[in-house]
Amino acid sequence: MGEGSIVENAMSGSGAHRLDAGMVIQMLVRVPASERWVSEGGRTAPAGEARPPQLSRARSFNKIATDTPDGCRTRATADLASAVLMDTENGRRRLEHSAATWYARADLIQRLDDSFAARQAAAAAMWAAGESPIAKGRRTAVQEPVLGGDAAHVRL
């Protein structure tokens, strides 16, 4: 969204903006300090003076941008841009390392999100087929466990 608060954007104009559930949730969620303040040039400046690229909220309302692949990639890009402007070699190396770390985090979160989405799709397909993904892994009372070795006498 543009400048201004969500409420101001929703109330302005000729009804072009509407408050939806996502906007209401965003208004209720507290913005973390990391998004309100920016560290720039060795000093902490209020967000009004210097702003990093706007980090978007995740699909899930309770995730901050640094917990999403896009947010991590945005932070990595900002660190690389800052590394170019850094005066000292150590500062440049630290920002480049930070960018590499953010990119690695983005890749990890993306793999986790993809895996979670695949599991959800598989469970939805099972439900649609009339099977229960919950009961699939459970033994029924009729089945006997197959145990070998010393545990063959144990009944579950």
Query: Whose CA is closest to 106, among 78, 63, 72?
Result: 72
User: What pLDDT, in 10s, does the model give residues 12-68?
Assistant: 544 444 445 555 455 455 545 555 444 444 445 554 554 444 545 445 556 788 889
In a domain, 80, yes or no: yes
Each residue's pLDDT tens digit, 99-131:
999 999 999 999 999 999 999 998 888 888 887
- Inside any domain, residue 114: yes
Domains: count for the chain? 1
Range of the domain at 75: 69-129
Whether residue 36 lies inside any domain: the answer is no
At which residue do the structure tokens 């899930």 appear? 60
H-run or E-run covering 37:
strand 37-40
Q: Is 46 domain-assigned? A: no
pLDDT confidence of residue 79: 94
Task: Specify if 108 maps to a domain.
Answer: yes
**For helices 69-85 and 89-128, what crossing angle results, to 10°?**
170
124 occurs within a structural domain: yes
Residue 119 lies in a domain: yes
Residue 106 lies in a domain: yes
Entry pTM? 0.46
Radius of gyration from C-alpha coordinates of the chain: 25
Distance CA 122, CA 117 (A): 9
Question: Given this model, what pLDDT does residue 125 score?
Answer: 87
